[in-house]
Structure 1
Amino acid sequence: MPQLAPINWLFLFFLFWFVVGLSSTLIWWSFKTEYKIKSINNMNKTSENDNKFLKSWNW
């Protein structure tokens, strides 16, 4: 098995973590839930049925 120069190991290291970061970002982006902020004036006009569609943070 041929040996790699240190610069090639650094390139492979950064390439690996770039691919891992890009993949995890794309997976997170595809499962991301949209959250909308409603103003106080609009909340007073909405009914209870509209509030069941609002998403809340899990934490």
Structure 2
Amino acid sequence: MKTTLIIFASLIIVLIATALVLAQPGLPGDPAQAPIDGGLGLLAAAGGAYAYKKLKKQRTE
């Protein structure tokens, strides 16, 4: 009776370990999206101001 219990317990452990070892990983999820509203707007405004300054200076010369 004791050997039957040991065999049964070891069989259950082997089956669970096999399922864990052979498990396939899932597909990766979507990457986290980063907001682009604040910094990009400031860069665009600074670029526009710089271009306006250059064009204004070029017209006066």
Indicate the TM-score class for this superposition, using the shorter chain for normalisation. 0.3 to 0.5
TM-score, scaled relative to structure 1:
0.42
Higher Cα Rg: structure 1 or 2?
A: 2
Q: Higher helix proportion, which one?
A: 2
Q: Which has the higher contact order (CA 8 A, sep 6+)?
A: 1
